[in-house]
Structure 1
């Protein structure tokens, strides 16, 4: 080996580790939170009035608003102002370096005329799909914003179906008389005959080489648009505005970087199918703070693509801060999944209040998704009147269970196996839920290494762990109506229960099931208060429940 070759080899060996390290994801913590770059704008201001817009609620202002935005961008950017008034419009396309600012009392109302919305290639639950053009959209932009104190209304009721049972009698009568058609049995209202036909036939909206965009014209009315879709944009700010009444998801930033959503209000009816509040998908460096959500589906939701398509994209949602938010109605306060095939990591959730949501902290996936969800941290979360579980993990999302033990079949772990691991939740308080904590992993891939400490959970039932490993509870108070058992362990291992308080009249503290339930440590907990400390069944062995340091 020549000296020159030795020298080059040494240089290469020295530089490669540094290059690899530079490209890796930084390790964040509460003391070292991600930094999110903010957009900045020139002070130049343009009013949409200067381009012929009229606030009479009748004039279609699509051209005037889009021309104002384009002119502002071409001049180097600035602020496009929407003054107070009722502005009817079709789809709006944002441009780089423009802040679309809605003054107080400005109502941007999107037209119910669906012919104004072009059929476009979009994304549905992480996959390429035919959609109607979103009311507000932008692609490959930089330095953009929607700010102010006005309202953006997607006129979503003209787009979506609704079941009779979701409305009051008077609401149902009003819906029927508004037009549309009914399902043959009279239980569902559809916006149109085309919508009804497609819905009852369960036709797919996904694009493929065999199904190009042009083949979806006969189901256009069924393809509900998300209200705000921003794709591959950098330095994005949504601040102060109320976004409401979306046909499908309300806000959908996709593959964006440096995203801030601040002091935004998001409203959708409780019956709004897919009426999510915010779906942050495959985004890097984001901040959601001071927002209020009252929606028909998941409130603040983390996604990163679905199944093989999401894994090929390979863009995790990462480096996020979610703080000081309030959620009223919603299927979950903070949600990860189920389309998380690209993964999610380093997300910090704090000082949030959930009142009346179906679930609190919600994590969901299923076999075939793949993806790794890790380094999720939540603290100072306060919940009231949760419909289901305060803390919820389920890797059997939308799976119907057989009653003959089929769930225990263990397929080979592969790229389609979802992984949820390495998280910490602290200072969690819940007043009212069906269950305090529910974790259900897969037999072949347990939910792993979750630490929960300093929690007070008042619920019908306490804790249920199925196919979980490395779960640690410290300083947890369980106030439960059902005390048989307070804690259920099913085929779960390496568990620690340290300083647990529970109802002193509990009839059964632990129910342990399954031969894979092993190494269950109970520390600093007075197990003698319960009438029965533990029961074992389905192959579980008493020796695997280890009681130590009993007070």
Structure 2
């Protein structure tokens, strides 16, 4: 019933966001734009948008050709249409991208001010349509704001919409932004569909960031990104709520489909269906990230406060990523702005994951892990098939001394041939960056569960392509555990290790070992 309600809400969103903008066409050539490679067309494009807006709305047309530009400010009731063969190309001069001060809606990511090729704040009924291309030309572009690191340092996005309503982005190709490719912050009633993203030119090259938005549909899109692919965030106080991600193909050298890391506003009623996660076709080329097959396929994370309640993930095919599933409740407790109070420990509950097939994956084990003072509640796994590579050598253990001082968040120095001997060796790291690279190869190869109130695993199989000396399943500090219809690669070994699991119903085919 809940999933049906989400779909109804999202269909309403689609109908609202996809309403036709009425008015005349405004060709940018009329306003002095030129495909001359030396001309910057920012003024001409913005004048066409202003004319359309002042006349009640209309369609601003980018004709065939390559048009270099700085920041374009999209306004109410205006559609920016990129014709067949049209290409909006970012200027190489940062002077053409004015640093926009933080908006009235504050976010962790506005520390250095905003810049973008296409920008709108507080606009309603806006559209970007194709079949043309936006090229951010972001390769090698550096930050603009001294003292601000990472994804807050003023590099231009391709698209940035803040606090906008009734938004459609469809049928376009987006290439190589200097940072995140497209960022929707505190927006409502958004439809992004039939898009193609290739984003490998720089660091922090996410494919799409849906950040504190309500009633958002992403569908029928192909995303290939150096950093995270499809990302739900809440970098401010607004939640990500009533979100549908459907029928997408995602490739990422980091995390393909992810909620987090930022979680201040939380996540509610999230539906992710009928998607494929597969390695990038460009994995052989030099990239910023060091994990060409990807770190995770599916990541759900609450680490900066907030509540995750009501997530449904269904019909996902996964090929080749290091870790198929990563569910993490931690306590990094990062503020979204300096003046905000430190967020309390967050909550995760009511997560349903079903019909997942993963093959050719690495040896990072899938995991569901809370912290001792805050457990994950009510998580259900059904009809899941995970096949990892295996091939580890028995007794080739990781040690604390081996990894001490080694940075883990960029997936370097992972010691892929080693694994932890016992669940007791796996640190909590509740303040650390949430990613399976923190733990590297866990003492299980199928599923690691720790600090969970209730978890049900039904009709699931955990198999290794090559022999794997680790235990298939480990459950630690799980109040209520149901394992039913479980298939593992080697039934003679311990199928599941249990520690502090007071209520349990375990498949009789599993060899159970209880460790005190």
Alignment TM class, shorter chain as reference: 0.7 to 0.9
CA distance in 2, matches of 1:534, 1:106: 62
Q: Deviations over 1:258-278 (max 9, x none)?
A: 000001111111x63211111
Q: Deviations over 1:49-82 (max 9, x none)?
A: 1111001222110000000011011111111110
CA distance in 2, matches of 1:240, 1:278: 15
Q: Which residue of 256, 263, 271 corresponds with 1:348?
A: 271
Is the Cα contact below 8 Å between 1:122 and 1:129 reproduced in 2?
Answer: yes
- Asked if 1:365 corresponds to 2:302, the answer is yes
Q: Deviations over 1:488-525 (max 9, x none)?
A: 11222201111101124552211223xx43212213x4
Question: Who is 1:6 aligned against?
Answer: none
Q: Which residue of 429, 434, 454 corresponds with 2:357?
A: 429
Question: Who is 1:3 aligned against?
Answer: none
The 5-angstrom pairing of residues 171-250 of structure 1 reads 198=146, 203-204=147-148, 222-250=153-181
Question: Who is 2:455 aligned against?
Answer: 471
Post-superposition offset of 1:396: 4.3
The structure-2 alpha-carbon separation of the partners of 1:137 and 1:288, relative to structure 1 and needing over 3 Å to count, comes to same
SS at match of 1:30: helix
- Asked if 1:89 corresponds to 2:41, the answer is no
- Asked if 1:263 corresponds to 2:194, the answer is yes
CA distance in 2, matches of 1:397, 1:58: 51
SS at match of 2:261: coil
SS at match of 2:268: strand
Post-superposition offset of 1:130: 1.9
Is the Cα contact below 8 Å between 1:435 and 1:462 reproduced in 2?
Answer: no
CA distance in 1, matches of 2:70, 2:305: 38
Is the Cα contact below 8 Å between 2:358 and 2:385 reproduced in 1?
Answer: yes
Is the Cα contact below 8 Å between 1:483 and 1:508 reproduced in 2?
Answer: no
- Asked if 1:129 corresponds to 2:111, the answer is yes
Is the Cα contact below 8 Å between 1:483 and 1:507 reproduced in 2?
Answer: no
Is the Cα contact below 8 Å between 2:481 and 2:501 reproduced in 1?
Answer: no
Question: Who is 2:325 aligned against?
Answer: 391
The 5-angstrom pairing of residues 288-299 of structure 1 reads 288-299=218-229
CA distance in 2, matches of 1:204, 1:32: 38
- Asked if 1:377 corresponds to 2:312, the answer is yes
Post-superposition offset of 1:156: 0.9
Question: Who is 1:485 aligned against?
Answer: 471
Post-superposition offset of 1:340: 1.2
Is the Cα contact below 8 Å between 1:146 and 1:238 reproduced in 2?
Answer: yes
CA distance in 1, matches of 2:180, 2:222: 16
CA distance in 1, matches of 2:328, 2:198: 27
Is the Cα contact below 8 Å between 1:323 and 1:349 reproduced in 2?
Answer: yes
The structure-2 alpha-carbon separation of the partners of 1:96 and 1:130, relative to structure 1 and needing over 3 Å to count, comes to same
The structure-2 alpha-carbon separation of the partners of 1:265 and 1:136, relative to structure 1 and needing over 3 Å to count, comes to same
CA distance in 1, matches of 2:38, 2:462: 57
Q: Deviations over 1:109-132 (max 9, x none)?
A: 010101122222248973541235
Question: Who is 2:36 aligned against?
Answer: 56
Is the Cα contact below 8 Å between 2:302 and 2:329 reproduced in 1?
Answer: yes
Post-superposition offset of 1:243: 1.3
SS at match of 2:296: coil
Give the alignment's TM-score, normalised by structure 2.
0.78
The structure-2 alpha-carbon separation of the partners of 1:272 and 1:394, relative to structure 1 and needing over 3 Å to count, comes to farther
Question: Who is 1:44 aligned against?
Answer: 24
More helix by share: 1
- Asked if 1:497 corresponds to 2:457, the answer is no
CA distance in 2, matches of 1:134, 1:507: 55
Q: Deviations over 1:452-480 (max 9, x none)?
A: 10111112410111112211110001112
Q: Which stretch of structure 1 is more off in the superposition, 123-132 or 77-86?
A: 123-132
Question: Who is 1:442 aligned against?
Answer: 371
Question: Who is 2:426 aligned against?
Answer: none
Q: Which stretch of structure 1 is more off in the superposition, 28-37 or 76-85?
A: 28-37
Larger of the two Rg values belongs to structure: 1
CA distance in 1, matches of 2:387, 2:328: 21
SS at match of 2:48: helix
SS at match of 1:67: helix
CA distance in 1, matches of 2:269, 2:253: 24
- Asked if 1:519 corresponds to 2:503, the answer is yes
CA distance in 2, matches of 1:446, 1:226: 37
Q: Which residue of 301, 321, 326 corresponds with 2:244?
A: 321
Q: Which residue of 326, 345, 359 corresponds with 1:417?
A: 345
The structure-2 alpha-carbon separation of the partners of 1:112 and 1:158, relative to structure 1 and needing over 3 Å to count, comes to farther
The structure-2 alpha-carbon separation of the partners of 1:32 and 1:397, relative to structure 1 and needing over 3 Å to count, comes to closer
Question: Who is 1:409 aligned against?
Answer: none
CA distance in 2, matches of 1:467, 1:125: 31
Q: Unpaired runs of 5+ in structure 1?
A: 1-26, 161-190, 207-219, 400-413, 528-532, 541-551
Q: Which residue of 126, 142, 158 corresponds with 1:144?
A: 126
CA distance in 2, matches of 1:266, 1:506: 47
Q: Which stretch of structure 1 is more off in the superposition, 497-506 or 126-135?
A: 126-135
Post-superposition offset of 1:40: 2.3
- Asked if 1:457 corresponds to 2:386, the answer is yes
CA distance in 1, matches of 2:66, 2:109: 35
Question: Who is 1:210 aligned against?
Answer: none
Matched positions, count: 427
Post-superposition offset of 1:226: 2.4
Post-superposition offset of 1:298: 1.2
Post-superposition offset of 1:46: 1.2
